[in-house]
Amino acid sequence: MLKEDRLVTTTFQLTEFVQTHTKQILIGAAGLVTLLVVIFFIFQSKGSAQKQAAELYGQGIIELKTGNPQMAAFNFRTVVDRYAGSEWAPMACFQLANAAFILKDYTQAANYYKQYVDKYSKFDTLLTASAWAGMGSSQEALHNHNAAGDFYFKAATLVPGSFMAPQYLLSAGRAYASAKNKIKALECYQKIFDQYPLFTQINIARKEQAQAANL
């Protein structure tokens, strides 16, 4: 009977949540999948603060997926500011940086990516590498190409052997080449050839290396 009561309660909660977010559900299959994932994690969260943080984060993801990065940023920022100790804070900080980047506020995006690296670097190595790459993309958008190269290169060193490492090295090589930093650019391309010979864009890397050699 207890199990049955819990099922009824959960079903009621899910129904109430879906009714509240009817507009988002109607956006299509992709949005529906996102919503279902969010609902699952919300009801897995324990404690009122965790649940509030989870719902804000989930709503932020929905807003981001439906093309409303400003509202998404508001939700993510609320999680970071009000629920800094929650399990959702690291992801909210990362997504806040993504939202700022989408809004083309590259300085703010770089700051939030750095905040993630400074506070949550132990949360997830791949995500930390992605945050370093995010700083690289932000600096690249601000035309600080040499700094961008340094950030991309750092991202690659954090995930050696991963499928993203050669892509980060390629981005680093391009950034250094834009900064006319021939030595660093060639170093990045050479690392791709030495460590990732099966990289799908290796022919592109060879072409770019030849161009960098003429800087």
| Contact in structure between 177 and 164 (CB atoms under 8 Å) | no
Q: Which CATH architecture has domain 126-215?
A: Alpha Horseshoe (1.25)
Measuring CA to CA, which residue among 134, 129, 201, 139 is closest to residue 176? 139
The H or E element containing residue 84 is none
| Contact in structure between 120 and 132 (CB atoms under 8 Å) | no
pLDDT at 92 over 90: yes
**Amino acid at the residue 57:** Y
pLDDT attached to residue 11: 40
Give the C-alpha separation, 93 to 76, whole Å.
Answer: 7
Q: Which residue has the tokens 């750092």?
A: 154
pLDDT at 77 over 60: yes
pLDDT at 20 over 50: no
Give the C-alpha separation, 117 to 114, whole Å.
Answer: 5
**Amino acid at the residue 43:** F
For 65, what's the count of Cα atoms within 13 Å in the CB-facing half-sphere? 20
pLDDT attached to residue 167: 96
Measuring CA to CA, which residue among 195, 156, 157, 152 is closest to residue 176? 152
- Average pLDDT value for the chain: 84
Whether 1-123 and 126-215 share one fold: the answer is yes
The mean per-residue pLDDT over the stretch 169-197 comes to 97
Domain boundaries 1-123, corresponding CATH code: 1.25.40
Q: What is the DSSP string of 203-215?
A: HHHHHHHHHHHT-
Domain ranges (residues) in the chain: 1-123, 126-215
| Contact in structure between 42 and 13 (CB atoms under 8 Å) | no
Burial class (CB in 10 A: 0-12, 13-18, 19+), 198: exposed
DSSP 86: S
Condensed to tens digits (0 to 9), the pLDDT of residues 36-45 reads 555 555 555 5
DSSP 50: H
pLDDT attached to residue 44: 56
pLDDT attached to residue 35: 53
The mean per-residue pLDDT over the stretch 98-120 comes to 97
How long is the chain?
Answer: 215
